[in-house]
Structure 1
Amino acid sequence: MPDHGGLPAPSQGLVLTHFLTVRDVAVSREFYANVLGGQVVLPENPAIVQVANTWIIMNPGGGPTPDKPGIVLRPPEPGDPVSTFLNVRVADIEAFYAAATAQGAEFLTEPLDRKAEIRCYMRDPDGYLIEVGQATGMLHGVFADRPAPG
């Protein structure tokens, strides 16, 4: 991909980004830059932060537009069901957990060993769920137990 100032703009094919509807662009932008070590590519309208090999695009919510009629964008409210989340894979989960906690990230639990991986979850400033995991057993053919039926 040619350099367009770090913007996700491929000269051929495609690139996958993730859009988040946020309450406060500056707060969310700083979270993804500081906690996930991202590089701010565009500060606002929309904010774009490159994190590793992907981009997080952030803008406030709003009502329908001509290109998305009937669609309203809003960040999640407390108690909303989760239907999607970011999945961050790290080489050293203990180091990531310590660094992210030092930056103010709040995790639901400490990293837990799930046989296939060690993982934990945190939320961003808008309440989006982020899984952080380190592959362990899966690298050797060991996978997590299947959930109980029902």
Structure 2
Amino acid sequence: MTQPLPDPANLPAPTEGILVTLFITVRQVARSRDFYSRVLGGTVVLDENPCIVRLSNSWIIMNPGGPPTPDKPEISVVDYEPGDTTSIFLNLRVADIHTCYEEWTAKGAQFLTPPIDRGAELRCYLRDPDGYLIEVGQSTGLLHGKLAEKRPEDLPG
């Protein structure tokens, strides 16, 4: 069975300028599609090949890894290996972090900590089904000119 064509108005296809999307390599498209739509509240635009989920004013594009292609010769797309380091993560800015924390936890999201007051913002992190780190933040003090506080645990070693 083929899937229906997506509504062009929901596709990440600007008529001018640039539009930013995030591509993530996933092990199980259905599992990740469920997380980004059901847990985080995104709208599925395309089920697979690639999966596209509109998340607020942005899009997450998901597909399994694969070998080099003519437009990216010698480059393989590989699965993310979760661990205790990261070099890139999704940053979600929300209006009410406590409501998001409660709703997403009830839907199965596993946060590393509850929201923590960092001076300029309230912030917490969770991981998606493939282990990608997601920061969830709500600007608070920053809206009144307060920058993030430097704490001893934030300084290099």
**Measured at CA, do residues 115 and 79 of structure 1 come closer, stay the same or move farther in structure 2, by a change above 3 Å?**
same
SS in 2 for 1:78: coil
Measure how far apart 1:84 and its partner are.
0.6
Asked whether the 8 Å contact 2:125–2:135 carries over to 1, the reply is yes
Name the CA distance, whole Å, in 2 between partners of 1:44 and 1:23.
Answer: 13
TM-score (norm. length: structure 1):
0.93
Aligned counterpart for 1:131 among listed residues 131, 135, 147: 135
Measure how far apart 1:72 and its partner are.
1.6
Aligned length: 148
Match of 2:155 in 1: 148
Name the CA distance, whole Å, in 1 between partners of 2:136 and 2:33.
Answer: 19
Q: Which residues of structure 1 form unaligned runs of 5+?
A: none
Asked whether the 8 Å contact 2:82–2:132 carries over to 1, the reply is no
Measure how far apart 1:81 and its partner are.
2.9
Q: Which residues of structure 2 form unaligned runs of 5+?
A: 1-6
Aligned counterpart for 1:8 among listed residues 6, 12, 16: 12
Is residue 121 from structure 1 mapped to residue 125 from structure 2 by the alignment? yes
Q: Give % identity.
A: 64
Match of 1:76 in 2: 80
Measure how far apart 1:69 and its partner are.
1.2
- Which deviates more, 77-86 or 41-50? 77-86
Measure how far apart 1:149 and its partner are.
5.2
SS in 1 for 2:10: coil
Aligned counterpart for 1:98 among listed residues 94, 99, 102: 102
Asked whether the 8 Å contact 1:5–1:41 carries over to 2, the reply is no
